[in-house]
Amino acid sequence: MRKKIILLLGLLVCVISFGASNVDNIGIIYEEDFRSVGVPEKDIIKAKEIISNASTKHKLLLLDRRQRELEINKYLLESPEKNWNKISLVFDEVGKIEAEILKNKLKSQIEVRKYINPEEYNNARAIAVKRIEENKKKKNENQ
């Protein structure tokens, strides 16, 4: 029951954070940056979907890891010597979650490359970096 409540709470946080995020961005890169380097609209949409799904999974895994860390802290407060076996098992679970986080990240990067190749990404990123630098200069001039 506790896991279900934490999972539901995590999903709620994810939904709220996605609703507040700018849907025209993939990181610092805007959709228009990808369009300007020739990425088709359907590929941008598919890449955003992959990134969104990976982000949701990542956030859920982080919540799961945090839950395990709290469990370890509880055992440490109660009695580390008495709970050593439990602590050891939970550390193993944390390791599995960390591995899953890394695999999820790599898998999503590989999937996105099917729709946005590294050259297109680097070119769009260069445009985004230039835009950010120009915005910083404007901000500094206005201050």
Domain boundaries, the chain: 65-115
Q: What is the pLDDT of residue 49?
A: 95
Please tell me the distance from the alpha carbon of residue 84 to that of residue 98, in angstroms, as a whole number.
21
pTM of the complete model: 0.70
More confident residue, 87 or 20: 87
Residue 17, pLDDT > 70, answer no
61 falls in which pLDDT band (50, 70, 90)?
very high
Question: Quick check: 10 pLDDT over 70?
Answer: no
What local confidence, expressed as pLDDT, does residue 26 receive?
76
Residue 47 has pLDDT above 80, yes or no: yes
Summarised one tens digit per residue, pLDDT across range 62-108 is: 999 999 999 999 999 999 999 999 999 999 999 999 999 999 999 99
Contacts 24+ apart (CB under 8 A), 115-118: 115/39, 115/43, 115/44, 115/46, 115/47, 115/50, 116/34, 116/39, 116/43, 116/44, 116/47
